[in-house]
A = this chain, B = another copy of it.
Amino acid sequence: MENLQTILEAVSAGYITPETARQKIQETGYQSVAEFAKIDHQRQERTGFPEVIWGQDKTSEQIARIIEAMSQHQSVIMATRVETQVYEEVKLKIPHLRYYPTARICALGKPNPQKISGKITILTAGTSDLPVAEEAAITGELMGFPVERLWDVGVSGVHRLLNNRHILDEADVLIVVAGMEGALPSVVGGLAHCPVIGVPTSIGYGASFGGLSALLAMLNSCAAGLGVVNIDNGFGAAILAGQILRTAAKIAAQSK
């Protein structure tokens, strides 16, 4: 509704009819796909990032039709939480679709590099956390950000982290992925001078209760200023990291 004043002046000047103005004001900026989905084409404009398809609990038919509709408006299209079998069904209809199996992401199109300096640095506590970390990494790359990866530096051997301290020192924004007791973000948060995003994972058993243990640990971190996302939500962490870098660039530009 940014152009409201402009539209109104056009009405006042008689360039457009009141009826046309009403339609413009109510213009929705979304596109219906069959009756089951409304693609939010304004999201990129509003939030800086395009709409992304949440693949879980959608049929391959639904995913394919949404991708087709999106492909008329977006240069990069991605769907998260897509199992291999679903990917293969969708690929029958969209042959150029590619798949990142560890990250369970399928994508179409080439990312446009962001026109800002700054990269996303991603750490994992263990090898088992890779699928979530890769979801974050691929998302970041598809959104056009450089991504640095550092895997398996959990707190049971804290020297592995301390000996990579230069990576922490050089980071612009950190995503720290950990399951089980979820302690790594607390240790990192006490060492880093940039924003830290904690991603609890469902890795563990017994009293990990599907990632609850790691989630609670990160929410209760004694390291001030940790931002936490949902269990296994690598995607959300990457979007938050990207949002931070975009904002920093904007402020940096203002400061010049």
Complex: how many Å from CA A54 to CA B154? 13
Chain A residues with a Cβ under 8 A of chain B: 1-2, 4-5, 8-9, 11-12, 14, 17-19, 21-22, 25-26, 28-30, 35-38, 40, 42-43, 46-49, 51-52, 54, 56-58, 62, 66, 81, 116-118, 125-128, 130, 149, 151-160, 162-163, 165, 169, 172-173, 180-183, 186-187, 189-197, 200, 202-233, 235-236, 239-240, 242-256
* Contact indicator A209/B216 (Cβ below 8 Å): yes
Look across to chain B and name the residue whose beta carbon is closest to the beta carbon of A193. Answer: B48
> Nearest Cβ in chain B — how far from A168, in angstroms?
9
Tell me which of A9, A153, A223, A233 has the highest count of chain B C-beta atoms within 10 A of its own C-beta: A223
* Contact indicator B128/A57 (Cβ below 8 Å): yes
* Contact indicator A225/B220 (Cβ below 8 Å): no
Q: Contacts of A46 on B, CB cut-off 8 Å?
A: 190-193
Complex: how many Å from CA A109 to CA B153? 27
* Contact indicator A254/B30 (Cβ below 8 Å): no
* Contact indicator B225/A215 (Cβ below 8 Å): no
* Contact indicator A154/B222 (Cβ below 8 Å): yes
* Contact indicator B48/A126 (Cβ below 8 Å): no
Complex: how many Å from CA A62 to CA B127? 8
Partner of A243, one of B22, B212, B216, B225: B225
Question: In the complex, given contacts A42-B157, A194-B243, A209-B216, what are 16 additional A-B residue pairs having Cβ atoms less than 8 angstroms apart?
Answer: A8-B22, A30-B163, A38-B151, A43-B156, A117-B254, A156-B224, A158-B187, A181-B216, A183-B187, A202-B206, A207-B211, A208-B220, A219-B228, A226-B240, A252-B255, A252-B256
* Contact indicator A225/B240 (Cβ below 8 Å): yes
27 A–B pairs (Cβ distance < 8 Å), ordered by A: A28-B163, A30-B160, A36-B151, A38-B152, A40-B156, A42-B157, A46-B190, A46-B193, A57-B203, A155-B223, A156-B190, A158-B187, A172-B247, A181-B220, A182-B183, A183-B187, A187-B187, A194-B246, A200-B206, A206-B210, A206-B232, A207-B211, A207-B231, A224-B239, A225-B242, A228-B228, A244-B247
* Contact indicator A195/B240 (Cβ below 8 Å): yes
Partner of A54, one of B47, B128, B233: B128
